[in-house]
């Protein structure tokens, strides 16, 4: 053996170090299966929440939207519509590529985008002292960040080949 280079397996025992197992082997463990299910539930929730809010921001009149959310009346209409389009695109990107197993690499990036949007939302609500609006934004941001981390680092999805 070369000094400073670790061996992947011990030839005398034919055992492989658990930390060096390929992801395919780790995905079979019950813990990874449970984490995968939790991530799918979170992705579905993000799809429904951001999809609904994106459609609302794209289609509802601004005065009705401002009565529900307060902030749309204080910003230009094009900003509200742009945020709605971004939320709808993020919702589709978090769920559809993973569900179709096509271009599944998009999923963690879409989740990162949604988490970034929620960081901006939290900053805006803090700036205007809108405490009640912080909780949903923080919760959605944390869920989106967890999905981004989970699908990028822990349980990535393979696309169709």
Q: Summarize pLDDT for 104-117 with one digit per residue, the tens.
A: 899 999 999 999 99
CA distances from 32 to 24, 26, 28, 90, 156 (A): 10, 7, 7, 25, 11
Taking a C-beta distance cutoff of 8 angstroms, is the pair 136, 117 a contact?
A: no
The pLDDT of residue 24 is above 90: no
In the block, residue with structure tokens 């869920």: 143
DSSP-assigned letter for residue 9: E
Percent of the chain as helix, strand, coil, to the nearest 5: 75, 0, 25
Each residue's pLDDT tens digit, 26-55? 457 888 889 999 999 999 999 999 999 999
Alpha-carbon distance values, 144 to 65, 122, 153 (Å): 24, 14, 14
Instruction: Specify the range with the lowest mean pLDDT, choosing from 56-65, 72-81, 123-132, 139-148.
Output: 123-132
The two structure tokens encoding residue 81 = 């519509």
| Residue % of the chain over a pLDDT of 90 | 57
In the predicted model, what is the mean pLDDT of the chain? 84
User: CA 139: distance to chain centroid?
Assistant: 12
What's the pTM?
A: 0.78
pLDDT, tens digit (0-9, with 9 covering 90-100), for 70-113: 888 889 999 999 999 999 999 999 999 989 988 989 999 999 99
Buried b / exposed e over 108-130, threshold 16 CB at 10 Å, is bbbbbbbbbbbeebbebbeeeee
pLDDT tops 50 at residue 18: no
Q: How far apart are CA 154 and CA 149, in angstroms?
A: 7
Between CA 80 and CA 134, with CA 128 as vertex, the angle to 5 degrees is: 75
Q: Residue 41: its pLDDT value, please?
A: 96
Query: What does the block give as tokens for 26?
Result: 């780790």
Q: Say which residues have a Cβ less than 8 Å from residue 38's Cβ, sequence separation at least 6.
A: 150
Per-residue pLDDT at 160: 54
pLDDT of residue 23: 46
Q: Report which of 40, 69, 75, 76 is spatially closest to residue 52, judged by C-alpha positions.
A: 69
């Amino acid at each position: 053996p070369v000094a400073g280079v670790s061996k992947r397996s011990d030839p005398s025992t034919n055992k492989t170090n658990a930390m060096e197992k390929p992801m395919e082997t780790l995905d079979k463990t019950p813990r990874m299966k449970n984490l995968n299910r939790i991530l799918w539930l979170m992705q579905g929730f993000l799809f429904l929440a951001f999809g609904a809010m994106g459609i609302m921001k794209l289609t509802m009149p601004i005065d009705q939207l401002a009565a529900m959310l307060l902030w749309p009346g204080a910003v230009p209409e094009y900003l509200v519509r742009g945020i709605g389009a971004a939320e709808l695109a993020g919702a589709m990107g978090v769920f559809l590529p993973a569900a179709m197993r096509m271009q599944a690499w998009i999923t963690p990036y879409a989740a990162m985008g949604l988490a970034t949007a929620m960081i901006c939302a939290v900053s805006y609500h803090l700036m205007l002292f809108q405490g009640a609006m912080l909780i949903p934004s923080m919760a959605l941001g944390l869920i989106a960040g967890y999905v981004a981390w989970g699908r990028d680092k822990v349980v990535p999805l393979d696309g169709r080949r």
